[in-house]
Amino acid sequence: MISQSALQSFYALAFGFCFAGMLCSGYQVFAERPASFRLLNATRLRALTAIPFLAFAAPFIILRNTVRGRQHEDRNIGFVMIATIIAGLWSLFAGTAAIDVLRFAAGISG
């Protein structure tokens, strides 16, 4: 049987990936180009406003870039595994933070 904390971590991981995908899809609809880490190369004010967005959208961007790199550049499978682990951990942390914010906003202790 799966422990309660393992199940909560799985939900946070899944929520983090879903939230990242929604953010990147919404950005692509409005900006008419995919989100990327190049947002940090903009002017100082735009780069500062992009940091919170990228903090939650990064898992999707990392995996998208990794899959494209594997398909088009024939990157090493070890690189793909490391990038997937990094994106997964980032998604777990971002999902946990987003769930905590939602709980706080709803007044649910937990």
Each residue's pLDDT tens digit, 36-94: 999 999 889 989 999 999 999 999 999 999 998 888 888 888 988 999 999 999 999 99
Longest Cα–Cα distance of the chain, Å, equals: 51
- Write down the number of H helices and E strands in the chain: 3, 0
| Integer Cα distance of 25 and 5 in angstroms | 30
* Spatial contact of 9 and 42, defined as CB atoms under 8 Å apart: no
State the residue for tokens 């998208």: 64
Task: Tell me the residue type at 25.
Answer: S
**Global pTM value:** 0.86
